[in-house]
Structure 1
Amino acid sequence: MCFSSSASFVVAAGLLPLGVGAVRYAQDQQRNDLLPLALTPFFFALQQALEGLVWLGLDPDGPDWLVHPAALSYLFFAYAFWLAWLPWSVLQLNVQAPPLRRRWMLQGLLVLGLLAGAGLWLPLALDGSLFQPTVVQGSLNYNTTLLADRWINLGAGSTVYGVIITVPFMISGSVRLRWFGGSLLVAFLITHLAYGYAFTSVWCFFSALLSASLFWIIRDPQPQALPAH
């Protein structure tokens, strides 16, 4: 599979109107609990636009000064933002809805995501030499050196990452959100098995494509939380 700046920018442009529609729906329904999920396509659009800049900077005639700041911003989403935002988005839908055990699990995953995200991304922000994007087999490999590499192998680390990202959706009370979580899990496994050399880039690209379905998913007629008073 070959990716490029054009692919990243096209996905970014395609997600923007879907994000607008999702946010308008949440506002029209006066469902503040839906807004985090409705905003998710916007953030995926921004992340893909940042990767487009990385591609441009890596071009032989491109502005190479773009590479590191764009890559660091992109990795913020990949390594930190999604680990907190996605569990939090699902938690907002279930903050008042039973069962209590589900809320505890979501809160635990949110805390774990915050801690893992800080441990993954902050060292990169402090030391730019810990990552160096390159093109490998038509995809981007960010070549990151992580603190966790000393204690956790790639398989175990990827498993923890996948759990934090997908389990919140899988335990949600919404059938559509469970479907979304299952789709993320399939994309995760395919990327891990077939594109391990560029896991971060390909996984986020597939996830961005899947986020387009949130325009449909947030119209799930099943109640996610008790109405606010």
Structure 2
Amino acid sequence: DPALQRQLAGLFVFFAEVFWPTAAPLAILLTETERYRVWALQTLTLMGLVTSIYLLTSILQSPYEATILGHSIHYHNGYDYFPNGQIVYVLCTVLPFLLSSGRMVQLLGLTIFAGYGMTLQFYSEALVSVWCFFAAIASALIYLHVARLAPQRAQNPVPQK
């Protein structure tokens, strides 16, 4: 069903290109207390918000088409990123993890960045879908991190204010 395909492609692209540039830095920001990390993450959150708004506007003006290219999904629409937009997107979605005070979160950031590099090198035509695939695999690190912390949290719950 072509209409369903467009809707699902739009949902995926919204999540990948509109949600993540703001959500990634904001999620890490909410866990940090060190002044310089907070400042850097606030800056990245603002950059991410601007990027998200730009990409949302672009998507609404020119919806994505999803096609099979090789063995991957290629998402395309008629807009171009603003100058250096891809760099800003990567900064907003990867750098917050690297700035985190948590080692597992930093490892997640390195894994996501390595996935981006491999995708750019070998699957650049399907960058959005393949990089998200690598990021989904990297999300297993989040599970390991949370699972490792769960017994500690059960023994020492965070005091309620």
Does the aligned pair in 2 maintain the 1:134–1:140 contact within 8 Å?
A: yes
- Pairing 1:95-174 to 2, within 5 Å after superposition: 97-98=33-34, 100-128=35-63, 131-148=64-81, 151-152=82-83, 156-174=84-102
Cα shift at 1:182: 0.6
1:147 CA displacement: 4.7
Matched residues in 2 for 1:227 and 1:186: separation? 37
Determine which of 42, 55, 76 is the counterpart of 2:14.
76
Aligned length: 153
Displacement of 1:76: 0.4
The structure-2 alpha-carbon separation of the partners of 1:196 and 1:77, relative to structure 1 and needing over 3 Å to count, comes to same
Deviation sequence 1:60-101 (CA, Å, 0-9, x none): xxx12212111111110111101111111111111xx22x11
Could you tell me which residue of structure 1 aligns to residue 155 of structure 2? none
Change (3 A) 1:178 1:227: farther
Matches within 5 A, 1:55-66: 63-66=1-4
CA distance in 1 between partners of 2:160 and 2:26 (Å): 18
Aligned to 2:138: 210
Kept in 1, the 8 Å contact 2:98–2:109? The answer is: yes
Work out whether residues 120 and 147 of structure 1, in 8 Å CA contact, stay in contact via their aligned partners in 2. Answer: no
Query: 1:216 offset after TM fit, Å?
Result: 1.4
Deviation at 1:161, TM superposition (A): 1.5
Partner of 1:199: 127
> Aligned partners of 2:62, 2:95: CA distance in 1, in Å?
31
Alignment RMSD? 1.8
SS in 2 for 1:145: coil
For 1:35, the equivalent position in structure 2 comes to none
Question: Could you tell me how far 1:227 is from its partner in structure 2?
Answer: 5.9
Please give the TM-score of this superposition, normalised by the length of structure 2: 0.87
Note the C-alpha offset of 1:138: 1.0
Q: Distance in 2 between matches of 1:181 and 1:189?
A: 12
- Specify which of 102, 112, 119 is matched with residue 184 of structure 1: 112
Selected match of 1:92 from 30, 42, 64: 30
State the 1:228 CA deviation.
5.4
Distance 2:66 2:142 in 1: 30
Partner of 1:23: none
Alpha-carbon displacement from aligned partner over 1:89-126 (angstroms, at most 9, x marks no partner): 111111xx22x111011011011111101101222124
| Cα distance in 1 for residues equivalent to 2:123 and 2:101 | 32
Structure 2 gaps, min length 5: 153-157
**Unaligned residue ranges in structure 1 (runs of 5+):** 1-62
Letter in 1 for 2:36: R
**Does the 8 A contact of 1:72 with 1:125 survive in 2?**
no
